[in-house]
Structure 1
Amino acid sequence: MSENATTGDTYEQFTDHVRRMTNVGNAAGLLNWDQQVMMPEGGTPARSQQTAALSAVHHEMLTDDALSDYLDDLEAAELDAEQAATVREIRREHERATRVPGDLVEEISETTSNALPVWEQAKGEDDFDAFAPTLEEILNLKREYADHIDPDRDPYEVLFEEYEPYLDIDTAERILERLRDELVPLIDAIAESDRTLADPFDGTYDEDTQRALVREALDELGYDWDRGRLDTAPHPFSMGTQFDARVTTRFAPEDPLDALGSTIHEFGHATYTLGLPQDHYGTPLGESRDLTVHESQSRLWENHVGRSRPFWDFLAPRVNDHLGVDADPATLHEAANQVDPANLIRVEADELTYHMHIILRFEIERDLVRGDLDVAEVPAVWNDKMEEYLGVRPDTDAEGCLQDIHWTNGAFGYFPTYSLGSVLAAQVFAAAEADLGSLDEDIHAGEFGTLHDWLTENVHSHGCRYETDALIREATGEDLTADYFLDYATGKFGDLYDL
């Protein structure tokens, strides 16, 4: 048998193993979706064991000696670019996973699953002390996890790489610090401005009415209902594969734009997932490229499309019809872009102050993981940073440090990708318009296919073929930069608030 045939056989066996492993992970994802959307409240004890078992199986497959042998055999093989990318991605995951004991992986999975109802009760009762021991336990487990991977490196950097392996922590910190330094003065100027933006919404809007509006918005944007569904969850999210990418939202009776914005955001995630190559399902070539890129897609659709004036020219009649208001596009555009530094809740924050919420969480979790901050100090430090960055102080921990689910899931290192994604969204949208010309007329007419096709060709279709920095250069011609986002934010909000 020729060497090429042997390599081909090995690569086929390798990818068979990878696909089976990926399907185990995808099944665990569906169980997580069910727990947040449909599972009865009493199902947690069994669900914790189920997710822990799948996590253990996935870890065993990822650390299997057979997979190690395949990777060794393929190390010196002549592979094409796609095969080499697949091997690169699995090797990175395999090498990290083999350093972590399987029982620790299972313990983390079970602990975080059990933490969900503890966090929910603590948040409901505004009792951080009730959640603190659980948070401390999760922190210790994640520090141990990072120590197994590389005991000589900053543990936060190691955990950050779980979500963004190819953008280094120095790049992330540099961009976040620049956002903090340049956005705080802009937010202060807006707070001091005499300009008040319009808000045509008065009273309450029932869930069925809002659901009809957001479903029509998804229709118009081009959501594929044959491969998706819309549900509600306490914390909106999207999950799935290129064959089944689901979105969730939540409804605030007094703020119908909250559900609309979060639904468009999750649509952005889902349309990226649905745009991944179907023929590469189960391998890295059919997987999304980490969280900065994923968040860029949701932020692009939510902000650069969904909060643009042309979008409200298009959507205004539908909003008026569903919600029973009589507002012109300019009024609705202002309502969708109000800046409110006093808003304490991240997922309800406006496009601009949102980044202060992210930077605050990033700084706190980084210090927690590094051991520079005690869990007991979190509420006070959180409140101090809110006051420093946004001039407002939470009255309760439920509207402060208990509001997010991420630490409950052990997702330390996740938060920075939200702002990094927003930065990339502006850069990608600028690149799309550089190729296609201004998209204002298309958006005004409700024609979103041109933008969608460009994103699929330049971002979605690549899966994990490129590392993050290479994908950004492939799509935009430049390295990641905050220039486009800061120019966009300064121009947009300067115009809105007559600065």
Structure 2
Amino acid sequence: MATEATADDTDDASDAPDAYDALLDRVQRWNAVGSASGVLGWDQQVMMPEGGTPARSKQLSALSSVHHDMVTDDETGELLDELDDADLTDEQAAVVREVRREYERADAVPVDLVEEISETGSEALQAWEEAKAEDDFETFAPHLEKHVELKREYAEHIDPDRDPYEVLFEEFEPCLSMERAESILTELREALVPMIDDIRDSDVELAVDTFEGTFDEETQEELSREALELVGYDFDRGRLDVSSHPFTSGNQFDCRVTTRFDETDPLGAVGSTIHEFGHAQYNLGLPQEHFGTPLGQSRDLSVHESQSRLWENHVGRSEAFWERFLPVFQEHFPQTDDATVRDAYEAFNQVYEDNFIRVEADELTYHLHIVIRFEIERDLIRGDLDVEDVPEVWNDKYEEYLGIRPETDSEGCLQDIHWSHGNFGYFPTYSLGSVMAAQLFAAAEDDIDDLDAKIAEGDFDDLHDWLGENVHRHGSRYETNELVKRATGEDFTADAFLDYVDEKYGELYGI
């Protein structure tokens, strides 16, 4: 059950101290630089000609340096010191808390290292794309090695006495401890491995052949646009494009999504498109009046992922959604005219025996994909694994955890874009977000009458309003657990997710 808004939800900032106003002005300016970098990054992955990488690397490096200089300027520290004992509203105190966290981490890292990391990321992105296309890990390996070295150095500057991977994890999830994250991953592994084994031993045969065949990419793109229109994407503030790895980029005024297409897997495109919609809807739902400040920015990647996984899994994979969407699908692909809603539901929720690709994984084995990446990147950063050994270790873990072994690096250790950006510590947030999505959706179901029926009718207004009220409008005002507790009445746990998958897959597979 969502908690009601309290009086302090509408703090009056009209009496803000002068130092607070000055700090807010600085924050808005450096976040504008960050937004510009985001647009250049989007362009690099979507529109930029292949030959543009050398210039783009310098452009992004320069903006990264400018941003770092603005954050770490002496005046920022002086304003924060001045606000230490100031009489602040709850909203103002939250802004100062978030800015202080960013300032202290950035101030610990030399600007030349920031520039080098940015430039390395631009070069590594192109190398990763080439390596993936050519199935050649050796092309990417030197760039990965450099990223690992730079990120170790980065973590050491922030806190030389702590586990460097834990320090990097806090870049993406600053409000939950590494211990808590590992605990949840362990709960998932211990619950899902035997469940998946039971499913594979089950005699139940789902309608997995329903969507076999060839589905041309141009029509899939038209279908993806209709899916976005159905769930309520605001094309006046966004756009849909194609990229090698689906992603979302933007803010509450301009938030763009990308997807990708496989002619043999139309459901994959539907899933990834709705997934990215969840990210975009969060960004677009952030308060416009707080643009450029922590109150107008998303909480963190676990919360962000909860929004995308909620829409992808609890909406897009639901039987109710396919009551509304199957006729649209069949209009675009008449070869599926004989499919029933139950067929579509089963096809979209089958548990695969031989899927190697994380973004195409089913809802259960997905988390083992995450565990593998988490263990590998953790060991890389800690110095317990050499880059040259990544492909073999990756393949060994897939064989151990999932019973499959990739035949190529492209379907193995080169499939994800994250390491080309140097984003070590990112992967755990995917599973944390999935767990959080189940807890939030369960609360929404409690609060919204006949939510399933509304989804079946294509009416998503109440769900949009619930998420906007309980998650989006708060920006980064609350730390993660408090945000979840305010929305659901409970601390953040894996209980709702485990109950959800037990019920759903128990019914599907008769286990």
Q: TM > 0.5 between the two?
A: yes
Aligned match of 1:466: 478
2:46 counterpart of 1:34:
no
Q: Residues 7 and 77 of structure 1 are in contact (CA less than 8 Å); yes or no, is this contact kept in structure 2?
A: no
Matches of 2:18 and 2:105, distance apart in 1: 26
Matches of 2:255 and 2:103, distance apart in 1: 26
- Equivalent residue of 2:108, what SS? coil
Alignment CA distance shift 1:87-1:42 (3 Å)? same
2:441 aligned residue (409, 414, 429): 429
2:312 counterpart of 1:302:
yes
Map 1:212-361 to 2 at 5 A.
212-324=222-334, 325-326=336-337, 327-361=339-373
* Farther off after superposition, 414-423 or 316-325: 316-325
* Farther off after superposition, 250-259 or 453-462: 250-259
Alignment CA distance shift 1:222-1:5 (3 Å)? closer
1:65 aligned residue (54, 57, 74): 74
Matches of 1:9 and 1:323, distance apart in 2: 61
Matches of 1:289 and 1:152, distance apart in 2: 27
Map 1:387-406 to 2 at 5 A.
387-406=399-418
Gaps of 5+ in 1: none
- Equivalent residue of 2:327, what SS? helix
Aligned match of 1:453: 465
2:509 counterpart of 1:497:
yes
Matches of 2:244 and 2:82, distance apart in 1: 47
Aligned match of 2:52: 43
Matches of 2:314 and 2:111, distance apart in 1: 43
- Equivalent residue of 1:246, what SS? strand
* Paired letter, 1:119: W
- Equivalent residue of 2:352, what SS? coil
- Equivalent residue of 2:241, what SS? strand
Aligned match of 1:157: 166
Q: CA deviation at 1:59?
A: 0.3
Aligned match of 2:7: none
Alignment CA distance shift 1:182-1:165 (3 Å)? same
- Equivalent residue of 1:69, what SS? helix
Residue by residue, what CA displacement relative to the aligned partner does 1:342-385 show, whole Å, maximum 9, x if unpaired?
10011111111111100110011111111111112211211111
2:417 counterpart of 1:408:
no
Q: CA deviation at 1:7?
A: 5.7
Aligned match of 2:397: 385
2:487 counterpart of 1:487:
no
- Equivalent residue of 1:394, what SS? coil
- Equivalent residue of 1:408, what SS? helix
Matches of 2:90 and 2:405, distance apart in 1: 52
Aligned match of 1:211: 221
1:127 aligned residue (112, 118, 136): 136
* Paired letter, 2:107: T
* Farther off after superposition, 167-176 or 347-356: 347-356
Aligned match of 1:376: 388
Residue by residue, what CA displacement relative to the aligned partner does 1:56-84 show, whole Å, maximum 9, x if unpaired?
00000010111111111111110101111
Q: CA deviation at 1:93?
A: 0.4
- Equivalent residue of 1:469, what SS? helix
* Paired letter, 1:140: E
2:21 counterpart of 1:21:
no
Matches of 2:112 and 2:353, distance apart in 1: 44
- Equivalent residue of 1:407, what SS? helix
Alignment CA distance shift 1:122-1:67 (3 Å)? same
Matches of 2:75 and 2:272, distance apart in 1: 43
Matches of 1:200 and 1:263, distance apart in 2: 20
Gaps of 5+ in 2: 1-12
Q: CA deviation at 1:143?
A: 0.2
Map 1:89-108 to 2 at 5 A.
89-108=98-117
- Equivalent residue of 2:171, what SS? coil
- Equivalent residue of 1:464, what SS? coil
Q: CA deviation at 1:140?
A: 0.4
Matches of 2:14 and 2:468, distance apart in 1: 33
Residue by residue, what CA displacement relative to the aligned partner does 1:440-484 show, whole Å, maximum 9, x if unpaired?
111111110101100000000000000111111111111111111
- Equivalent residue of 2:244, what SS? coil
* Paired letter, 1:497: Y
Q: CA deviation at 1:438?
A: 4.2
TM-score by length of 1: 0.98
Aligned match of 2:198: 189
* Farther off after superposition, 92-101 or 314-323: 314-323
Identical-residue share of aligned pairs (%): 66
Q: CA deviation at 1:112?
A: 1.1
After the TM superposition, which segments of 4 or more aligned residues of structure 1 sit over 4 Å from their partners? 4-7
Q: Residues 187 and 341 of structure 1 are in contact (CA less than 8 Å); yes or no, is this contact kept in structure 2?
A: no
Q: Residues 7 and 74 of structure 1 are in contact (CA less than 8 Å); yes or no, is this contact kept in structure 2?
A: no
TM-score by length of 2: 0.95
Q: Residues 135 and 375 of structure 1 are in contact (CA less than 8 Å); yes or no, is this contact kept in structure 2?
A: yes
- Equivalent residue of 2:145, what SS? helix
Query: How many pairs were matched up?
Result: 496
Q: Residues 394 and 400 of structure 1 are in contact (CA less than 8 Å); yes or no, is this contact kept in structure 2?
A: yes
Q: CA deviation at 1:129?
A: 2.4
Matches of 2:408 and 2:332, distance apart in 1: 35
Matches of 1:369 and 1:433, distance apart in 2: 41
- Equivalent residue of 1:247, what SS? strand
Matches of 1:193 and 1:124, distance apart in 2: 37
Q: Residues 62 and 94 of structure 1 are in contact (CA less than 8 Å); yes or no, is this contact kept in structure 2?
A: yes
Q: Residues 251 and 258 of structure 1 are in contact (CA less than 8 Å); yes or no, is this contact kept in structure 2?
A: yes
Root-mean-square deviation (Å)? 1.3
* Paired letter, 2:93: A
Matches of 1:209 and 1:95, distance apart in 2: 49
Q: Residues 207 and 251 of structure 1 are in contact (CA less than 8 Å); yes or no, is this contact kept in structure 2?
A: yes
Residue by residue, what CA displacement relative to the aligned partner does 1:403-429 show, whole Å, maximum 9, x if unpaired?
111111000000000000000000000
